[in-house]
């Protein structure tokens, strides 16, 4: 071992001991200043908090693509409704449903669901059918047509 190969030992800084009397220079308020939110115990203000002002991320308009505005939504109707509003042998179309007030908006089309029972022979024309609805309509002697 030679003198030039010795490395200086790193100096360690002593930990700051707060709240240990006035002689330490860090007594009384323990380096927290006077009163206020940040002087309280458990106080942590999130980095994005802007003092009650409307935050930046809410002031800036939304941008970019969102697929939700292009989803295809159907007006739905159940077999129980068809059973209540139509007579045997009627032809059910979206226009007739709208006229009778069974559906309010046609949206992207009409979908027939299988809730309820159908005891009438109907010809149903709609944009979509659930598989159970098709089987129930055909078992009652009716026909289904996809528009």
Residues forming a β-bridge with 124 = 92, 144
The helix/strand/coil state of 78 is strand
Task: Name the residue among 112, 121, 124 with its Cα closest to residue 142.
Answer: 121
Residue located via tokens 């022979």: 121
Digits of tens for pLDDT over the chain (147 positions)?
788 888 888 888 888 999 999 998 899 998 898 998 889 988 888 888 888 899 998 999 988 898 988 899 999 999 888 888 888 888 888 888 888 888 888 788 899 998 888 888 888 899 999 999 999 888 888 888 898
For residues 57 and 48, give the distance between their C-alpha atoms in angstroms, rounded to a whole number: 9
CATH number of 71-146: 3.100.10.10
CA angle (85 as vertex; 140, 111 as ends), nearest 5: 70
């Amino acid at each position: 071992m030679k003198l030039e190969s010795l490395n200086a030992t790193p100096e360690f800084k002593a930990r700051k001991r707060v709240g240990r009397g006035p002689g330490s220079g860090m007594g009384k308020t323990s380096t927290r200043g006077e009163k206020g939110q940040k002087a309280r115990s458990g106080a942590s203000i999130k980095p994005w908090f802007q003092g009650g002002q409307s935050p930046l991320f809410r002031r800036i308009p939304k941008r970019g693509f969102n697929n939700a505005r292009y989803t295809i939504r159907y007006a739905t109707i159940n077999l129980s409704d068809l059973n209540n509003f139509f007579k045997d042998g009627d032809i059910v179309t979206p226009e007739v449903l709208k006229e009778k007030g069974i559906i309010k908006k046609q949206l992207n089309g009409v979908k027939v669901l299988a809730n309820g029972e159908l005891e009438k022979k109907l010809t149903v024309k709609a944009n979509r059918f659930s598989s159970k609805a098709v089987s129930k309509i055909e078992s009652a002697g009716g026909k289904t047509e996809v528009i």
